[in-house]
């Protein structure tokens, strides 16, 4: 769900709304990438929200740039010296870019919420999702007594808020019998026969 949200945000910023097929292809590519990561003894990779912020900041939207950046990362992994150059960057320089990127991601999310019709249950969905996402931040030990899988999902503010928003939206807006129905126009009065012409 996180990857889907990042893909939708990038599609919106680039002016190319994603179709269901585009979204499915993106998720499939992400899955294949994770498989290759495991084969090469690496970690499962995923789409990071920082990348969405970078696209918004730099205005660089070419897939070829992403491919070249991937090649550079492979080079940094194989040749130690270039990696040492990147590692030599001062911590404050790298740290200063972080808040800007994450704040940009937040701004993109707010811009997405701006298009939501805050009527009926949508306000409740957003409010509860934000509240659930704030739980592990405000009370880090809240899930310590739960099973491991609950701590993994609930311990992440982004993951828990996303799961809550998904489930609540599914419950309130996509459950049979709960769908919104448009107001039907009032029935027109029956046609009245013309009066007989006056004699």
Query: Is-contact 105 50, C-beta < 8 A?
Result: yes
Residue pLDDT, tens place only, 12-40 = 777 777 888 888 888 888 888 878 877 77
pLDDT at 186 over 60: no
Residue pLDDT, tens place only, 83-129 = 777 778 888 877 777 777 777 777 777 777 777 788 778 888 989 99
Query: Token pair of 82, please?
Result: 């270039």
- CA gap 106, 43 in Å, rounded: 26
Query: Is-contact 172 178, C-beta < 8 A?
Result: yes
Whole-model pTM above 0.85? no
């Amino acid at each position: 769900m996180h990857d889907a949200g990042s893909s939708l945000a990038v599609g919106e910023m680039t002016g190319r709304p994603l179709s269901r097929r585009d979204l499915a292809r993106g998720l499939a590519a992400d899955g294949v990438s994770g498989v290759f990561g495991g084969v090469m003894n690496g970690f499962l990779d995923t789409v990071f929200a920082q990348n969405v912020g970078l696209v918004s900041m730099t205005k660089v939207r070419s897939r070829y740039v992403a491919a070249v950046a991937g090649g550079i990362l492979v080079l940094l992994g194989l040749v130690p010296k270039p990696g040492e150059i990147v590692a030599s960057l001062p911590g404050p320089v790298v740290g200063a870019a972080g808040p800007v990127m994450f704040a940009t991601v937040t701004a993109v999310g707010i811009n997405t919420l701006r298009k939501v019709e805050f009527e009926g249950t949508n306000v409740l969905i957003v409010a509860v999702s934000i509240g659930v996402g704030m739980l592990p931040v405000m009370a880090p030990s809240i899930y310590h007594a739960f099973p491991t899988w609950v701590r993994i999902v609930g311990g992440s503010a982004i993951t828990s808020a996303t799961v809550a928003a998904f489930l609540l939206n599914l419950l309130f807006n996509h459950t049979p019998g709960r769908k919104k129905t448009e107001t039907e126009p009032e029935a027109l009065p029956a046609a009245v026969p013309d009066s007989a012409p006056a004699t």
